[in-house]
């Protein structure tokens, strides 16, 4: 899966209902635009819970070449000096962050990316880790590919709190979990699956992509190639970088995209 990262940052959580609209604008117009221009950031996607399973309402996956980018000066500068908009949104959102390194991947013959994800957070009973990995890679993931999943990646947490393992399944859309083939698979678990169920704890949710509006990643290339409608200003990738303290009036950190500009970009 060379098109995706070896490392991901997974952000998940809740936002106060009255702040949902501002949260989405902040994430699309400022937060992602700042990060996507950094070397090593490959792309990002944002999702909302489909409602099929309990779990965090909002989810973002940032694709990275490696975790080295998280130690870069530009990235650390953003964390040390958040913008006023970032500080305001943080007061009304409860988000968790985890950094995960890929340990296994599988994909089918068709498109790599769909319009939905199934996400599983997992912990394993000590002493069962090796069989857990064998079961997942040799049986569980291939079974999902047979019922129409596009691909899957397994990760191990290297930073943050929560479950040790993460699985990200690429789905054509969220309807696949309601198909007869999938229901048959779930109703008839294998002996190996039944044995493993007593030695692992899983949390699962299904997510529908909301940004970009179409399947695929929000990338620097999209930002570079975007042509704004008449009357709007095209965003400069460099303008999204966090500026140094004191640059410009009030330590400006680069202009944000207008609401109309970002709404147009979201349709690409």
Q: What is the CATH number of the domain that holds 84?
A: 3.30.70.100
Q: Is the pLDDT of residue 266 over 80?
A: no
Q: What is the pLDDT of residues 230-253, one digit of tens each?
A: 544 444 434 434 333 333 323 333
Contact 42, 64 (CB under 8 A): yes
Phi, psi of 89 (to 5 degrees): -65, -40
Is 119 inside any structural domain?
yes
The reported pLDDT for the residue numbered 226 is 55
Is 1 inside any structural domain?
no
Is 2 inside any structural domain?
no
Q: What is the pLDDT of residues 20-65, one digit of tens each?
A: 999 999 998 899 989 999 999 999 999 999 999 999 999 999 999 9
**Range of lowest pLDDT (119-133, 163-177, 220-234):** 220-234
Domain count, the chain: 1
**Got the DSSP string for 191-240?**
HHHHHHGGGEEEEEEEEEEEESSSSS-B-HHHHHH--PPTT-PPPPGGGG
Separation CA 43–CA 8 (nearest Å)? 10
Predicted model pTM: 0.83
Which residues contact residue 59 at a Cβ distance below 8 angstroms, ignoring those fewer than 6 apart?
Answer: 10, 11, 12, 46, 47, 48, 49, 117, 119, 205, 207
Is 18 inside any structural domain?
yes
Is 192 inside any structural domain?
yes
Is 246 inside any structural domain?
yes
Q: What is the domain range of residue 196?
A: 7-265
Q: What is the pLDDT of residues 67-125, one digit of tens each?
A: 999 999 999 999 999 999 999 999 999 999 999 999 999 998 888 899 999 999 999 99
Is 179 inside any structural domain?
yes
Is 16 inside any structural domain?
yes
């Amino acid at each position: 899966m060379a098109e995706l990262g070896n490392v991901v940052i997974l952000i998940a959580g809740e936002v106060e209902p009255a702040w949902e609209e501002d949260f989405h604008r902040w994430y699309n117009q400022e937060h992602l635009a700042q990060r996507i221009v950094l070397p090593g950031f490959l792309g990002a996607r944002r999702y909302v819970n489909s409602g099929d399973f309990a779990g965090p309402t909002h989810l973002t996956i940032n694709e990275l070449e490696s975790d080295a980018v998280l130690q870069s000066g530009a990235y650390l500068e953003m964390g040390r000096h958040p913008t006023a908009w970032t500080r305001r949104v943080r007061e009304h959102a409860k988000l968790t962050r985890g950094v995960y390194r890929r340990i296994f991947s599988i994909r089918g013959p068709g498109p790599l990316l769909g319009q939905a994800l199934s996400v599983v957070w997992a912990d394993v009973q000590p002493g069962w880790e090796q069989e857990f990995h064998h079961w997942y890679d040799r049986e569980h993931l291939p079974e999902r590919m047979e019922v129409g999943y596009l691909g899957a990646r397994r990760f191990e947490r290297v930073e943050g709190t929560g479950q040790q393992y993460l699985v990200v399944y690429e789905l054509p859309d969220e309807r696949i979990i309601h198909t007869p083939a999938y229901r048959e698979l779930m109703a008839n678990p294998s002996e190996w699956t039944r044995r493993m169920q007593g030695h692992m704890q899983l949390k699962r949710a299904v997510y529908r992509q909301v940004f970009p509006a179409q399947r695929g990643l929000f990338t620097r290339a999209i930002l570079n190639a975007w042509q704004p409608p008449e009357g709007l200003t095209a965003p400069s990738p460099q303008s999204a970088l966090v500026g140094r303290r004191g640059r410009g009036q009030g330590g400006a950190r680069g202009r944000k995209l207008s609401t109309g500009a970002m709404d147009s970009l979201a349709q690409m």
